[in-house]
Amino acid sequence: MKIAVAMSGGVDSSAAAAILKEQGHDLIGFSMQLWNQRRGINIDENGDPLPSRCCSLDDVYDARRVAEELGVPFYVLNLEGEFERDVVQPFVASYLNGETPIPCVSCNSRLKFASLDRLAASLGCEKIATGHYARVEYDWVANRYRLFRGRNVQKDQSYFLWELTQEQLSRSLFPLGEMSKPEVRGLARDHHLAVAEKAESQEICFVPDGNYAGFIDRYLASEDESSRLPGPGEIVDTEGEIVGQHTGIHRFTIGQRRGIGIAGARPLHVVAIDAAKNRIVVGGQDQLLSQEFTAAGVNWIAFENPTTPVQAHVRVRYRHAEAPARITPLENGRARVIFDEPQRAITPGQATVFYNDDEVVGGGWIVKGRQA
């Protein structure tokens, strides 16, 4: 087949390209330039640029080098405008609204897959391949494409792919879906790829130091929009008593214990963020437990939109061990999720994904929690 391969310059996407090349496919490699490093937003305390993991020039160079090693034509897509509009700006707005966003999901489905899909179709490519640890299969009986976890549970990335549509899944290839990370590195070494020993990146790509609040401060300053910052406000307990002051709600997230700046008789956690009142609400560990929440923007993969409740195991963040729950469809692409047992720190802005064993049933965005 003629296949478009997303090449980020990392070992995973490089190994995926090597596998497909070895299988005899006709490949076209693409890297995506997503963030303008010249804007000077990501800097350290000395004003020096932070090392970026957002398709930096080094990453593009590495991807081009691998493409040359494999004998694959290679192109760079400049998606800086789309990335800022569809990923960065919603990320900033979400934090200012008292949420904790996870931009990697929308970046995958709404930007990377959507952009590659259009380009691949124009070039006559039948499939789009990436280095995600996930699997996609076609169910002839149901006439649907189904999404599954990668075999390597520790590296599984199906959580970030739940927004993919049937049309996108029909053209998706995940060559690493059956492999473990050591196997992938071994394959890269066997092919003598220059990135075989390249380290992984764990942070959000456009916030290389992990300081989300600092990024938001610098980003809004660069846009002359610092007036959007929430500013100081009250920290209150769950009874509404003022127990302290904060310097901006975007510096906090549900479940946070360190850095609140309050000494108490018991450990205090952020249990709610009230953007309308510019308040941080703190409480004990037990007050972080919730049994139900509402999801919006729900995408069902395993079947068409259901009209009756669905039983599944539900994950409320990437590192959360999913738990059994009942999912009741609501109007306008929403759903009510009720766990069998209360879960800790269900956080608006995060993605929730529904599983049936290894299969991704669907997913959505957490928009409102409810205390147990």
**Are 269 and 283 within 8 A, CB to CB?**
yes
Sign of CA dihedral 220, 222, 225, 230: positive
First to last CA, the chain: 52
Catalytic residue annotation: 107, 205
Burial class (CB in 10 A: 0-12, 13-18, 19+), 8: buried
For residues 63 and 73, give the distance between their C-alpha atoms in angstroms, rounded to a whole number: 11
**Are 17 and 27 within 8 A, CB to CB?**
yes
Sign of CA dihedral 128, 130, 132, 133: positive
Residue that the structure tokens 């190994």 belong to: 15
Distance of CA 225 to the CA centre of its chain: 26
Residue that the structure tokens 């972080």 belong to: 288
List the structure tokens of 124.
């006559």
Sign of CA dihedral 130, 135, 136, 140: positive
Residue that the structure tokens 């108490």 belong to: 264
User: Helix or strand or coil: residue 195?
Assistant: coil
